[in-house]
A = this chain, B = another copy of it.
Amino acid sequence: MTPTWLPALTELLGPNQVSVEADTLAIHGTDKWFAANTPKAVVFAESTADVSATLRFATENNIPVTPRGSGVGYVGGCVPLNGGIALSLARMNQILELNPADGLAIVQPGVITGDLQNAAAQLGWFYPPDPASLKECSLGGNLATNAGGPRCLKYGVTRHYVLGLEAVLMDGTILRAGGRCHKNKTGFDLIGLFVGSEGLLGIITEATLRLIPHPPLRAMLSASFDTFAEAAHAVQQILGSGHLPSALEITDRFTLQAARNYIGDTVPTGNAHLLIEIDGQPDAVPLEIAALQTLLQSLNALTISAAIGDLACEAFWKLRREFSYSLRATGLIKLNEDVVVPRGKLVELVTFAENLQAESGFPVACFGHAGDGNIHVNIMVPDMNDPDQRDRAEIALDRLFHHVLSLGGAITGEHGVGLAKKRWFPEAISPGAMDVHQRLKSALDPNNLLNPGKFVTPISE
């Protein structure tokens, strides 16, 4: 049913920027997770003024607005649960400036993450955050979820690269925070407030991102171990001897076995696998690789192989990605939970996951960013439309999240809360923190119109 406000909205923005076409509505009602809800209309913003006008219009007419970037999130964060307007930032996709002298890039939210990385690299500069979906995800989505990736271990998450931003509040207020400076202590951290707020506090329409000098060379080691515990021990020993790799990725037995079934013999032997990436100066990197190789030998690695330079490293990363594809190739649905535990609890988490597999009857595959304890625990379900399986999957998820929290862990390291983890959010934060969440939501979106139905509502609701 066409909403009564459609003509006025179309008049405001022009017919080219508003759609109620069925296919368009459907596409903008979901992401890579299960949930879906069709919006009443999709707005394609082409400027900050468009975003502000849309939000002002929506406030006046009491219409919910759910912003979205590329729609490749894993937690249903951009599902317009209460209908209303799905506000797409995809057309605002320009790199406005790339400035090595100031060490920054200014981007619109629709820029694809990998495109910025490539553009910066061509000038010898580096934008480190590297979510797995970097070829299709947009920086706006990265900002909304404070996206991570393997390289966070050395380089930090998206938030650490935001020098400035422009955002629009639900009432249409446009604000700028930060700017072109690499340090700025002028007032409260509004950047941190909007980055990672999953579209619940405001919509980011422009960001000034910090670039750093591109390390001239990178190299990797691929090592396998007889047990997960030995691989986790190696993680601690590498860090404990003064190395800070750019990535430290671990993979468990189940995933390796799936990979062997999928791609065959190129997968190393053993029941656990470690991928170590370092980067730095051309003379230094091979020396550090040699030192790490010696260390891994002393830690009973079954196999060790090295890759020096971009091309060889990409082959190693390709193998790592195949691990993920091989899980899909099982034909099972992969409930990918990006939980985090304190680094010292890695073995406890994976032991728990093995028990959960026995207990739930579902295969459980673990791999991820060992250096920061951020392990993707994948519960593999044959058919989520089968009510019995779905119920059992929910019970398994309950068990997983409760256990993670009991280890001092977090329910999400990089995907966000969205809808997928909404149920566990109140348990995952302290009552005082929930109180502050509600106060912040009330302060910036008192009528609960911006991305409603997610993990926080204003106090009045």
How many A residues have CB within 8 A of the partner chain?
101
User: Considering the complex, which residues of chain A in the window 162-218 have a beta carbon less than 8 Å from any beta carbon of chain B?
Assistant: 169, 173-177, 179-193, 195-197, 200-201, 212-216
Whether the pair A175, B436 counts as a contact (CB closer than 8 A) is yes
Whether the pair A190, B124 counts as a contact (CB closer than 8 A) is no
User: Please, how many angstroms separate the alpha-carbon atoms of A417 and B184 in the complex?
Assistant: 10
Whether the pair B176, A242 counts as a contact (CB closer than 8 A) is no
Whether the pair A291, B281 counts as a contact (CB closer than 8 A) is yes
Chain B residues with CB below 8 A from A181, complex form? 340-342, 372-374, 408-410, 413
A262 part of interface (Cβ distance < 8 Å): no
CB distance from A414 to the nearest CB of B (A): 6
A1 part of interface (Cβ distance < 8 Å): no
Most B-side CB within 10 Å, residue of A100, A189, A200, A435:
A189
CB distance from A31 to the nearest CB of B (A): 16
Whether the pair A179, B408 counts as a contact (CB closer than 8 A) is yes
Contact of A284 among B157, B200, B239, B288 (CB under 8 A): B288
Chain B residues with CB below 8 A from A340, complex form? 181-184
Whether the pair B185, A145 counts as a contact (CB closer than 8 A) is yes
Closest to A174 in B: B432
A294 part of interface (Cβ distance < 8 Å): no
Whether the pair A373, B182 counts as a contact (CB closer than 8 A) is yes
CB distance from A253 to the nearest CB of B (A): 23
How does the 8 Å CB contact mask read for A234-256 relative to B, with 1 for contact and 0 for none? 00100111111000000000000
Whether the pair B201, A188 counts as a contact (CB closer than 8 A) is yes
Chain B residues with CB below 8 A from A189, complex form? 146, 159, 189, 192-193, 195-197
* Chain A residues packing against B (C-beta within 8 Å): 99-104, 124, 145-146, 148, 152-153, 156-157, 159-160, 169, 173-177, 179-193, 195-197, 200-201, 212-216, 236, 239-244, 280-281, 283-285, 287-288, 291, 338, 340-345, 369, 371-374, 408-417, 425, 428-433, 435-437, 439-440, 442-444, 455-456
Q: What are 22 of the A-B contact pairs (CB < 8 Å)? A: A148-B185, A156-B160, A159-B189, A169-B436, A173-B435, A176-B433, A180-B409, A183-B372, A185-B412, A186-B428, A187-B417, A187-B425, A188-B197, A192-B192, A193-B193, A213-B242, A215-B244, A216-B242, A284-B284, A439-B444, A440-B440, A440-B443
Which 9 pairs, one residue from A and one from B, show the smallest C-beta to C-beta distance?
A192-B192, A175-B432, A284-B284, A101-B344, A182-B372, A183-B413, A443-B443, A180-B342, A439-B443
